[in-house]
Amino acid sequence: MRINRTTQVLAASVLGLTLAGVATPALADDPGSGIDVSVNIEPTTTPGQLSMTVADNNGVSLQENGSDAAARQFTGTLPTVTVTDTRTPEEIPAGEYWAVVGQASQFVASDDPAKTIGPEYLGWKPRLLSDSSTGAVSAGEPVSSVVSDGTGAPNVGLEGQELLVSTANSADEIGTSQVNADLALRTSVDVAAGEYHSTLTLSLFNQS
């Protein structure tokens, strides 16, 4: 198309030069014919969606903090988790709600796969970072290691799926919600030395 258009422009220029030295009154008085060019562009309608992102997902390095005669404790902070809902109220089914849950895998020592620490030793305390104008969005309850932290939180750790943040009704509060959590690995005082690694999997569920 670009080549054809260029050719047409050049042909018109040549024709104009040729006609410049010829008296053609009829052509000068000819109003020509106009062609209306129209287009109807419909507005873009992109459906909204519910999504989750994790900020600075480079992992968490737990550091020893708060150890005592009863346990060794290693703490850190979960990166900020953002749940974004760009849907309109009309796109959300009645009674729908969403939730983010977390579950840890077994800690395995880098130098010896036989040395492990179970996920039940890792607990967390979720914390809502964004304002909830309606109170519909809330952080999950704290979960302690099986080696109790003395707070009265359930001593189950993150062996199973535990709630990080949720909403009772998706349509009640649309927008962005942010949450993180204080992590605490509490083990027995005689835990084997080594560098251990676990994977904490976060999952966003949307149900009605």
Cβ neighbors of 8 (< 8 A, separation 6 or more) are none
Residue 153 lies in a domain: yes
Q: What is the pLDDT of residue 30?
A: 61
Rounded average pLDDT over 18-45: 63
Rounded average pLDDT over 53-69: 92
Assigned token pair, 84: 């974004």
| Per-residue pLDDT band at 10 (split at 50, 70, 90) | very low
Q: What is the pLDDT of residue 4?
A: 35
Residue 38 lies in a domain: no
Domain that holds residue 164: 50-207
d(CA 174, CA 87) in angstroms, rounded, equals: 7
pLDDT in tens, 152-183: 999 999 999 999 999 999 999 899 999 999 99
When mean pLDDT is compared across 22-31, 35-44, 141-150, the lowest value belongs to 22-31
Q: What is the pLDDT of residue 44?
A: 64
| Per-residue pLDDT band at 20 (split at 50, 70, 90) | very low
Residue 198 lies in a domain: yes
pLDDT averaged over the chain?
85
| Per-residue pLDDT band at 43 (split at 50, 70, 90) | confident
Residue 176 lies in a domain: yes
Beta-carbon count within 10 A of 181 CB: 26
Residue 160 lies in a domain: yes
Q: What is the pLDDT of residue 49?
A: 93
Is the pTM higher than 0.85? The answer reads no
| Per-residue pLDDT band at 28 (split at 50, 70, 90) | low
Q: What is the pLDDT of residue 21?
A: 35
pLDDT at 151 over 90: yes
Domain total of the chain: 1
Residue 139 lies in a domain: yes
pLDDT at 129 over 70: yes
As a 3-state breakdown, the chain gives helix, strand, coil percent values, each rounded to 5, of 15, 35, 50
Beta-carbon count within 10 A of 183 CB: 20
Q: What is the pLDDT of residue 19?
A: 26
- The dihedral region occupied by 4, where left means phi > 0, alpha psi between -120 and 50, and beta the remainder, is alpha
What percent of the chain has a predicted confidence (pLDDT) above 90?
70
Please report, for the domain that includes residue 178, its CATH number. Answer: 2.60.40
Q: What are phi and psi of 50, to 5 degrees?
A: -110, 125
Beta-carbon count within 10 A of 196 CB: 20
What is the b/e burial string over 112-140, where b = at least 16 CB atoms within 10 angstroms of the residue's CB?
A: eeeeebbbbbbbbbbbbeeebeeebbbbb
Residue 57 lies in a domain: yes
Residue 17 lies in a domain: no
What is the b/e burial string over 145-157, where b = at least 16 CB atoms within 10 angstroms of the residue's CB?
A: bbbebeeebeeeb
